[in-house]
Amino acid sequence: MNIALGIEYSGSNYCGWQRQSHSPSVQQSLEVVLSKIANHSVSVFCAGRTDTGVHATAQVVSFQLNNERPLRAWELGANSQLPDDICVRWAKPVPDEFHARHSAFARRYRYVIQNTRYCSAILSGKVTWYRTPLNHELMHQGAQALIGENNFSSFQASSCQSPTPFRRIDEISVNRYNEFVIIDVRANAFLHHMVRNIVGCLVEVGFQRQPVEFVQQVLAVQDRTAAPMTAKPDGLYLVQVAYPEKYQIPQLPLGPLTLPQSFL
């Protein structure tokens, strides 16, 4: 059987999604529990390999199962053994050709900025904080230059192993919800650190240290050294992965924030 799971996690205590020998990862934590339930070694594939400190509300994983198990084993059973910062939100059998990464045609990330005079202790590690007021309208205007298929070399980490810097951004928006500035971007796929590098560029526009045209200029140069510093991972969330309808992958409702409404 081929099984798909929807996973939510806080990335604060992990070196990222991918298994590493030197530090705990989300993948390793999940595989240990799933292997116990399956009674055989399980290797999972994910829709998007998040970095150190990056969170997910809608990560999708798939794996092959040799022994039949009821779906509640992957939901209730797994959640009873997983760390408190990782949980399974749904489980379903999928066709053999389904692959969490290769079958996806779009991903959506959200970056959450708390824009206040003080840094919240409660939200530490869950949002990125900037004291200086941000002009979200200018940020939104600048971001529109990124829509379409482009060479995103200026926003690609030097460690990125992708064979091509071309990606297609379908949507990108910047909105303010009281003290929170939210950057929402949907693309067919992302380069390593691409979202965080885009955020770093947009923040310069939001601080009005650079003009709206700065984003277009950085994109056109196709040189990472032309872009500002990479934004912190704290505020970044994988919030949606899109698949062809034939797979019937659950799409959970998206609110304006990946944070509880009580924080608005």
Handedness of CA 55, 121, 194, 183 (dihedral sign): positive
> What helix, strand, coil percent values describe the chain, rounded to 5?
25, 30, 45
Ligand-binding site membership of 237 (annotated):
no
Q: Is 51 a catalytic residue?
A: yes
Between strands 106-114 and 128-129, the pairing is parallel
Which class for 72: exposed (0-12), middle (13-18), buried (19 or more C-beta within 10 A)? Answer: exposed
Tokens of 152: 């995103």
**Residue 48 near residue 192 (C-beta atoms within 8 A):** no
**CA–CA gap between residue 11 and residue 169 (Å, rounded):** 24
Rounded to a whole number of angstroms, the CA Rg of the chain reads 19
Angle at 240 between CA 31 and CA 244, to 5 degrees: 90
Q: What is the distance between the terminal CA atoms of the chain, rounded to a whole angstrom? A: 43
**Residue 60 near residue 100 (C-beta atoms within 8 A):** yes
**Residue 162 near residue 191 (C-beta atoms within 8 A):** yes
Question: Catalytic site residues?
Answer: 51
Binding-site residues for substrate, in ranges, read 109
